[in-house]
Amino acid sequence: MEKMVALPDETLVPAIGQGTWLLGEQSGKRGKEAEALKTGIEAGMTLIDTAEMYGDGKSEELIGEVITGYDRNRLFLVSKVYPHNAGRKRIGKSCTETLKRLGTDYLDLYLLHWRGSIPLAETVECMEQLKKEGKILRWGVSNFDTEDMEELWRVPEGKNCAVNQVLYHLASRGIEYDLLPWMREHGVPVMAYCPLAQAGDLKRGLYESPVLSEIGAAHGCSISQVLLAFAIRNGDIIAIPRTGKKEHALDNAKAAELELTEEELLELDRVFSAPAGKVYLDIV
Ligand code: NDP
């Protein structure tokens, strides 16, 4: 993995990490999924994204099993707290249980999964407290649109936000209009979820697109690799594809080596146009 993205505190993380939604939920698949995650780690995808929500903790437990035997300092573990747990009453318990399932004593990054009814100021205060206690190194948000980020910036210590994780892929480029420029202006990276549009499920026909096949063929790469190279093309987006297969994990890690040419990017723009006006955040 050669491409890295700098966080606001200058920590470098791999531009392609590993998503884990739906992993660990079916006992018959756990072995293969664990193997895929290990293969991914060894290929440089040391950033692993999970959430207390995923399989009600089963995804975190699977990661916990996978990472025993790896040097914890070389991993970058991200988890997310449910909005209804992201306040003074419950965040401590949520975080402790996440740490227990992961078998670690700190998270590299803890995200508010999406906005709920607990005031942002309270969530930020709680995140800062978890930092002081050493349970998390930094915090961020997820599914925040531009207005939410602006509101966060008005909250005390809200500017300590390290990442905003949102849906982004070639066929869903809405954030390029105002959210991505806002994030760039404020020096906070975007973490792109569903970077493969769930293998095309979120956008019918994506994997049958002739332009993607042509670009892939020109580089000897798969369509998934072209999609990942597109997502991380500017050096300030982290993509977190999920796979339960080790051959796909290798594919995804190798996508970091693929450089799309100016012409190819123009061709992609022609078919999958960038937004001409405000598009509200896509969410799954
Ligand atoms: P992705 O866009 O990552 O697509 C996953 C699908 O792509 C799977 O079906 C997988 O199947 C397939 N796939 C992966 N790699 C390849 C490959 N190289 N070739 C062919 N197919 C491939 O979807 P997700 O929804 O999982 O999003 C990624 C991650 O983002 C999640 O796992 C989660 O961690 C995070 N997320 C966060 C959200 C939030 O609200 N913050 C919301 C949604 C996701 P296979 O197993 O067969 O490889």
pLDDT 10s per residue in the chain (284 long)? Answer: 579 999 999 999 999 999 999 999 999 999 999 999 999 999 999 999 999 999 999 999 999 999 998 999 999 999 999 999 999 999 999 999 999 999 999 999 999 999 999 999 999 999 999 999 999 999 999 999 999 999 999 999 999 999 999 999 999 999 999 999 999 999 999 999 999 999 999 999 999 999 999 999 999 999 999 999 999 999 999 999 999 999 999 999 999 999 999 999 999 999 999 999 999 999 99
111 Cβ partners below 8 Å, 6+ apart?
A: 51, 78, 79, 80, 81, 139, 140, 141, 142, 163, 165
* Mutate which of 16, 20, 21, 80 for ligand 1 pocket (most atoms within 8 A of beta carbon): 21
- Determine which residue's CA is closest to atom 10 belonging to ligand 1: 243
Q: How close is the Cα of 23 to the center of ligand 1, in Å?
A: 10
**CA-to-CA distance for 69 and 92, rounded, in angstroms?**
27
Q: Which tokens is 145 given?
A: 């649109």
Ligand 1 pocket check for 241: Cβ under 6 Å: yes
Residue 196 CA: nearest ligand 1 atom is 2
- The pLDDT, as a whole number, for residue 69 is 87
This model's pTM is above 0.95: yes
The predicted structure's pLDDT at residue 55: 98
Q: Which of 168, 222, 226, 230 is nearest to 193 (CA)?
A: 168
Determine the distance separating the centroid of ligand 1 and the alpha carbon of 22, expressed in angstroms: 9
Ligand 1 site, residue 19, Cβ cutoff 6 A: yes
E strand intervals along 15-113: 47-49, 76-81, 109-112
Determine contact, residues 239/40, Cβ cutoff 8 Å: no
Architecture field, domain 12-271:
Alpha-Beta Barrel (3.20)
Known catalytic residue at 54:
yes
pLDDT of residue 1: 59
3-class DSSP state for residue 117? Answer: coil
pLDDT at site 258 = 97
